[in-house]
Amino acid sequence: MSLLEIEKIDASYGDVQVIFELSLKVEKKEVVSIIGGNGAGKSTLLRTISGLMKTNAGRISFDGKAIHSEPPENIVTHGVVHVPEGRRLFPLMSVKDNLLVGAYNARARGETEKTLAEVYELLPRLAERQNQLAMTLSGGEQQMVAIGRGLMAKPQLLMLDEPSLGLAPILIKDIFKTVRQIADHGITVLMVEQDVRHSLSLSDRGYVLEHGRVVMEGKADQLIDDPHIKKAYLGI
């Protein structure tokens, strides 16, 4: 049984269908990348898994339970945590308070201090900055806070939407190093990312989306060497 199993889902914004009969699986402790161009449906897929959008058809199962009809707060309690594109921090709150917001669900509340210590160990820069306002941080540090807030919710599956967006190349390396460390701690990661080379280099498997459909899937090292991927996404 896969940790996450998506079976032929459709999803729409109003009358505009964005995802078409999409199926994929994520196994426990994997890092899986979703790649594709703008408008391919990548972010919509994560929003649908997390319950922010509803499916028109199909089924989403997590750890053997159907979750596609559940509200977002229940899905988080099951262990599915979504770190959205654009960080979306509370700019006038401290780093620590932004992190604590992530621990609101019943799964995480009883272990807040323990989890906070674990996040600070994994992301020591946040411990150094814990009393600073989020708005005073660099872009890379803000992204670290967003990821740390997601970890505070005690995820089994951490979904990251464009974690490197808008960051300088040197900071992008730090973000992907952090993602690899999270995976090494046993947390399953599903990542949407336009930096195809970096995302596939740290992933176990990948799926390619085009126009809301899976058009290619496979082991990450095979995808990164595929001629179509090289031409369409790596500029080679």
Identify the pLDDT of residue 131: 97
Query: Do the domain assignments include residue 113?
Result: no
SS3 letters for 126-169? HHHCCCCEHHHCCHHHHHHHHHHHHHHCCCCEEEEECCCCCCCH
Average pLDDT of the segment spanning 121-131: 95
- Model pLDDT, residue 235: 67
Q: What is the CATH number of the domain that holds 59?
A: 3.40.50.300
Q: Where are the alpha helices (DSSP H) in the chain?
A: 42-49, 72-78, 95-101, 106-109, 112-122, 124-128, 139-152, 169-184, 196-201, 220-224, 227-233
Instruction: Tell me whether residue 178 is in a domain.
Output: yes
Mean residue pLDDT across the chain: 93
Residue 168 domain flag: yes
> Quick check: is 121 in a domain?
no
Going by pLDDT thresholds of 50, 70 and 90, the confidence category of residue 232 is confident
| Report field, pTM of the whole predicted structure over 0.85 | yes
* 166 — pLDDT class (breaks 50, 70, 90): confident
Between CA 113 and CA 103 the distance in angstroms is 10
Per-residue pLDDT tens over the stretch 186-205: 999 999 988 888 899 999 99
Residue 109 binned pLDDT confidence (cut-offs 50, 70, 90): confident
Report the C-alpha gap between 209 and 165 in whole angstroms: 18
With respect to residue 72, please indicate whether it lies within any of the assigned structural domains.
yes
Predicted local confidence at residue 4, as pLDDT: 98
Exposed, middle or buried, 141 (CB in 10 Å: 0-12/13-18/19+)? buried
Q: Is residue 137 part of a domain?
A: no
Domain assignment of residue 65, yes or no: yes
User: CA–CA separation, 65 vs 56, rounded Å?
Assistant: 18
Q: What pLDDT shows up at residue 236? A: 55
pLDDT tens digit string along 38-78?
889 999 999 999 999 999 999 999 999 999 999 999 999 99
Whether pLDDT at 130 is above 80: yes
Query: Which of the four pLDDT bands, split at 50, 70 and 90, describes residue 149?
Result: very high
In the chain, the number of structural domains is 1
Domain containing 72: what range? Answer: 4-86+154-233
Q: What are phi and psi of 217, to 5 degrees?
A: -150, 160
